[in-house]
Amino acid sequence: MARFQPIYDIAELCSRKGLNQAVLCPGSRCAPLTLAFSRHPQIVTRTFSDERSAGFIALGIAQQKKSPAILLCTSGSAAYNFAPAVAEAFFSETPLIIFTADRPAEWIAQHDGQTIFQSGIFGKHVKRSFELPQEYEHEDSQWAINRIVNEAINLSFQEPKGPVHINAPFREPLYPKQDELFQYSSTIRVMDEFPTSYSLTHEQKGIITEEWNRHNHVLLVAGQQDYDKTVLDSLERLQSRHSLPLVGDVISNLHGIEDTIRHSDLFLGQATDEIKHTLQPDLLITFGKSTISKNLKLFLRKYSPKAHWHIQSAGTVADPFQNITKVFNSGIIEFFDFINSLSDHPSFENQKQKNFCNLWEVEERKATRTLTDFFPQESLTELEIVREVIQSLPEQSNLHLANSMSVRYANFIGLTARQKGIQVYANRGTSGIDGCNSTAVGHALSNKRFNILITGDLAFFYDRNAFWNNYPIPNLHVLVLNNHGGIIFKIIDGPGALPEADEFFITDQKLNARKLCEEFDFEYLLLDNRKKVKNLIKDFAEFNDRTKILEFESDGSLNKATFENLKKLIKKSYES
Ligand SMILES: Cc1ncc(C[n+]2csc(CCOP(=O)(O)OP(=O)(O)O)c2C)c(N)n1
């Protein structure tokens, strides 16, 4: 038996548990695991030199495959560079199996190279941190390695899904001899754990039935969630039966439902108190993760419902509207189907609910109309370009939205019900600008769909190592909104008016994307005047054999002014 046989067998175990995507970062200490994964016939392995980018690429792969991705690095600071992606995976509930190779314990803090304290390095941002034994001779050690990896994988699958960390100390020599037989054991123990099922109890069903008829201003609000056709179908049934207004911003992936309220951020920011009063729910039902709209948060905090039911299968409960009264640990389809099975309100109450729903729909229609009439403006700005790109997206594509204005612009514009083939992704777990390119690259590498990323310049250049690898990604196109700084700090109240704004908040930067395109052999499209818009965006939306970058350079103040004008126009619609 090879000395590292129990380590080589980890790859076989991962494969038998259905894990077939591994992201490997270079180094020597991790060699036993690098060989184990890269030689495995069923595991797709890719290598990336920048661990920070690699972590986000693994995140994108796991999100796309809906299965944990394996992530491996060598010892030392390499492990710390995974941290931003690990935190995003934790809060976005994306499963990752992270292996960090380590020195044997006696060499930690002994002036040995590439050695830091790796045990539990990711703190609270992993579901659990495991430590492998460092000697393999005793069969109990071999049993422990198998058990720990089984347990870690099972844990990553359990709701809420998320990253798990396995620190693996390896003693030298790390490489097999030339003539050493390399194989995987044929008898590998697989330990399956069934996912906990979260169902409504008899008692909960009784409470829902009893309380349901007491409310006739019921509002549904969806947070970030993956596209799921069965959820859409269930919600459509629910809406048509009970006339429930459904608020879902762009990351809720509910745009395929015709009557979704998608512009709440626009109208709730400008509506009069009188209108807002009429929109106040008495029962609020929420599901999914975070919402983008700050105006929605402010509205629901101020116009608080009498009851607020939140539905999630498991995990820490977030209460962003500060008024949750009941948490139902259930799948959302089961919950909505149960509500669908309830008998109707008496007709008078039913009419009140219909009227309530109409009020929300009237505001939605008004905002949509104002938005349509608003374009084109005299000057070309980011909001208009985002609108044009969104309207030209290929039918079946993934739309990736970087933090911070990109995701907000897309939310203001919204996707239509006709665009139901589009799936929306954004790193809203931590809302970092550090891995937006890499996450989109991870998606593009692991699917055959068209992927379009919309990003600001800081997020784009911050994560330029996303493209520093040897894997072609012709199915990724990137729109770079280059206002030479973080325009968000101009737009939000507060920093814009300070004398420190440009240097310390907006942080002017001079780069443009042309040179990056030359370096990575991407096609570069420059949008520098209105006459080019239609043709360039048409070109941008067509996929062939090269990655395309479309850059739109513009002035931050102009973008801010346009944005303010739109808000004023919406406000005016409430004055007439
Ligand atoms: C890793 C990280 N560092 C800092 C921030 C704070 N931050 C939020 S938005 C932003 C500026 C983003 O600029 P850009 O990508 O050009 O987008 P724009 O604001 O122009 O839309 C910064 C620095 C962050 N979100 N993540």
pLDDT in tens, the chain (576 residues): 899 999 999 999 999 999 999 999 999 999 999 999 999 999 999 999 999 999 999 999 999 999 999 999 999 999 999 999 999 999 999 999 999 999 999 999 999 999 999 999 999 999 999 999 999 999 999 999 999 999 999 999 999 999 999 999 999 999 999 899 999 999 999 999 998 999 999 999 999 999 998 999 999 999 999 999 999 999 999 998 899 999 999 999 999 999 999 999 999 999 999 999 999 999 999 999 999 999 999 999 999 999 999 999 999 999 999 999 999 999 999 999 999 998 776 777 789 999 999 999 999 999 999 999 999 999 999 999 999 999 999 999 999 999 989 999 999 999 999 999 999 999 999 999 999 999 999 999 999 999 999 999 999 999 999 999 999 999 999 999 999 999 999 988 889 889 999 999 999 999 999 999 999 999 999 999 999 999 999 999 999 999 999 999 999 999 999 999 999 999 998 886
CA distances from 106 to 102, 137, 171, 221 (A): 11, 18, 11, 53
The response to whether residue 329 sits with its C-beta less than 6 Å from ligand 1 reads no
- Closest ligand 1 atom to residue 408 Cα is 21
509 alpha carbon – ligand 1 mean position (Å): 12
pLDDT for 76 equals 97
CA distance 327 to 204: 10
CA distances from 269 to 273, 536, 569 (A): 10, 33, 12
- Closest ligand 1 atom to residue 406 Cα is 21
Half-sphere exposure of 417 (CA within 13 A, CB side): 7
pLDDT for 576 equals 67
CA dihedral 381, 384, 388, 393 (to 10 degrees): 90
**Sign, Cα dihedral of 481, 483, 485, 490:** negative
403 alpha carbon – ligand 1 mean position (Å): 6
CA distance 450 to 444: 8
433 alpha carbon – ligand 1 mean position (Å): 5
The response to whether residue 384 sits with its C-beta less than 6 Å from ligand 1 reads no
The response to whether residue 456 sits with its C-beta less than 6 Å from ligand 1 reads yes
pLDDT for 496 equals 86
The response to whether residue 403 sits with its C-beta less than 6 Å from ligand 1 reads yes
Among 61, 172, 56, 58, which residue's Cα sits nearest to residue 112?
172
CA distance 26 to 31: 8
455 alpha carbon – ligand 1 mean position (Å): 10
pLDDT for 575 equals 85
pLDDT for 345 equals 66
Q: Whose CA is nearest to atom 11 of ligand 1?
A: 486
501 alpha carbon – ligand 1 mean position (Å): 14
- Element (H or E) spanning 323, and its range? none
CB 162 within 8 A of CB 94: yes
CA distance 155 to 298: 36
- Element (H or E) spanning 516, and its range? helix 514-520
The response to whether residue 454 sits with its C-beta less than 6 Å from ligand 1 reads no
The response to whether residue 554 sits with its C-beta less than 6 Å from ligand 1 reads no
Burial of 38 (0-12, 13-18, 19+ CB in 10 A): middle
464 alpha carbon – ligand 1 mean position (Å): 14
463 alpha carbon – ligand 1 mean position (Å): 12
Q: Whose CA is nearest to atom 12 of ligand 1?
A: 486
The response to whether residue 6 sits with its C-beta less than 6 Å from ligand 1 reads no
- Element (H or E) spanning 65, and its range? helix 51-65
Mutational pocket test of ligand 1: of 453, 460, 488, 563, the residue with most ligand atoms within 8 Å of the beta carbon: 488
pLDDT for 384 equals 97
The response to whether residue 463 sits with its C-beta less than 6 Å from ligand 1 reads no
Please give the span between the terminal C-alpha atoms of the chain, in angstroms, as a whole number. 83
CA distance 294 to 256: 23
The response to whether residue 458 sits with its C-beta less than 6 Å from ligand 1 reads yes
Q: Whose CA is nearest to atom 13 of ligand 1?
A: 486
The response to whether residue 486 sits with its C-beta less than 6 Å from ligand 1 reads yes
CB 33 within 8 A of CB 2: no
pLDDT for 303 equals 98
pTM > 0.85? yes
pLDDT for 343 equals 78
CA distance 454 to 436: 9
Mutational pocket test of ligand 1: of 56, 382, 433, 558, the residue with most ligand atoms within 8 Å of the beta carbon: 433
The phi and psi torsions of 79 (rounded to 5 degrees) equal: -65, -40
The response to whether residue 483 sits with its C-beta less than 6 Å from ligand 1 reads yes
